[in-house]
Structure 1
Amino acid sequence: MRELRIHGRGGQGSVTAAELIAVAAFEGGVYSQAFPAFGVERRGAPVQAFVRFSDEKIRLRSQVYEPDYIIVQDSTLIRDVDVFRGMKEGGIAIVNTEKSIAATVPEGVKLIALDATRIALEILGVPITNTTLMGAFAAATGEIELPALEKALRARFPGSLGEKNVKAAVHAYNLVRGEA
């Protein structure tokens, strides 16, 4: 079983990202599970969402404490929350930032830093980075296939909004793969 923990702020789409990543993984033929962890927080408060991937049925229902992967939607969370807590050696951290943060990443964790906010603003017209970071996740980990992600995005966001979200995800995917 592989596990993903998503760190974001309320209103950034962390829960939606987890759900859509799980849907794309399931489309790709693996068992998946997505769920959030938040209480009465309001927009802007730190939130977490989790995804599990497995070739076998998933029976575990706890939060993800030792993730293989993390996505950080807002790099300011790094100073407020221990986003790298429990990261497995050889894990992958995908962080939305335009700054150098390599010094904050634990040894043995691969960092993929990209300015998802800029991409989202250019393509979507709003600084909502979740779909952009989903594309980066697909490219970095191989846990979800790009066509399955595109299908999940189009189902969730019909019409032109869906196409813009697909475009943002594909752009990030290509950046991470070195094809943009």
Structure 2
Amino acid sequence: MEIMQEIRFHGRGGQGTVVASVVLAKAFFKAGYHVQTFPVFGVERRGAPVEAYLRLDADKKILIRSNVYTPDHVVVQDIKLLQNVDVTKGLKPGGWILLNAPGIPEHPERFSEYRLAVVDAGKIAIGHKLGTRTQPIINTAMIGAFARIMEMPPMEAIAEAIEKEIPVKPRQNILAAKQAYEEVQMIENQG
């Protein structure tokens, strides 16, 4: 990677969206990258849309101090957000959209300018007893899937970051990340 990459996370309050960006930032830092991560909250309540941002650069310190307006990639932790949030706003053509979904969403042609990946993070989280059936905690599964589509950071760095940042069920969270890494489906040309 030669230039700075910007990633925007979309989720809902209570899903661990901000924690996902922090854990991924720590994993990239462990792997030798310069990183910056921060959240943006609207209405601060459980279930409200939340955004978090991550910048990373392999070579240079990151001096920008603004929101991410033109992300290289987008992580969507709740597919229902597609109904009322434009997750592709500002997304660079050819960027990845990683969706937490049981399969390819309806009308995938709307993502034809981008590369699309899906992972059933909810099913993975439930299988590892992370959260509840109605509110699975999917953030570590999404991190694992993201690492696969980007081919970075290494899973060892993700496991170490999870151990340090997530005190509840660290082993199950690491297993969820590894399973999502294996199960993510990449659909690069769906248009």
Q: TM-score, normalised on structure 2?
A: 0.87
The residue aligned with 1:119 is 124
Measured in 2, the distance between the counterparts of 1:110 and 1:169 equals 21
SS of 1:76's equivalent in the other structure is: helix
Question: Does the 8 Å CA contact 1:102/1:111 hold for their aligned counterparts?
Answer: no
Instruction: Determine whether 1:38 maps to 2:47.
Output: no
Measured in 2, the distance between the counterparts of 1:33 and 1:75 equals 26
How many residue pairs get aligned? The number is 177
The partner residue of 2:163 within 128, 150, 154 is 154
Paired letter, 1:90: G
Q: 1:68 to 1:40 in 2, by over 3 A?
A: same
1:55-70 alignment, distance < 5 Å: 55-70=59-74
Paired letter, 1:13: G
Measured in 1, the distance between the counterparts of 2:8 and 2:82 equals 14
Paired letter, 1:114: V
Shift of 1:142: 2.3
Deviations 1:75-113 (A, max 9, x none): 000011001111111111110012432625432311111
Question: Does the 8 Å CA contact 2:8/2:75 hold for their aligned counterparts?
Answer: yes
Measured in 1, the distance between the counterparts of 2:56 and 2:157 equals 15
Measured in 1, the distance between the counterparts of 2:20 and 2:178 equals 15
Measured in 1, the distance between the counterparts of 2:76 and 2:53 equals 12
Measured in 2, the distance between the counterparts of 1:92 and 1:136 equals 12
SS of 1:173's equivalent in the other structure is: helix
SS of 2:11's equivalent in the other structure is: strand
SS of 1:112's equivalent in the other structure is: strand
Shift of 1:135: 0.1
Q: 1:77 to 1:177 in 2, by over 3 A?
A: closer
Paired letter, 2:105: I
Identity of aligned residues (%): 42
105-114 or 115-124: which moved more?
A: 105-114
- After superposition, the CA RMSD in angstroms is 1.7
Instruction: Determine whether 1:130 maps to 2:139.
Output: yes
| Consecutive unaligned residues in structure 2, runs of 5 or more | 187-191
Deviations 1:33-88 (A, max 9, x none): 11000144200000000000112100111111111111100000001100111111
The residue aligned with 2:51 is 48
Q: 1:103 to 1:21 in 2, by over 3 A?
A: same
Instruction: Determine whether 1:7 maps to 2:16.
Output: no
54-63 or 92-101: which moved more?
A: 92-101
SS of 1:147's equivalent in the other structure is: helix
The residue aligned with 1:166 is 174
Q: TM-score, normalised on structure 1?
A: 0.92
Measured in 1, the distance between the counterparts of 2:29 and 2:122 equals 27
Paired letter, 1:5: R
SS of 1:37's equivalent in the other structure is: strand
Shift of 1:177: 7.8
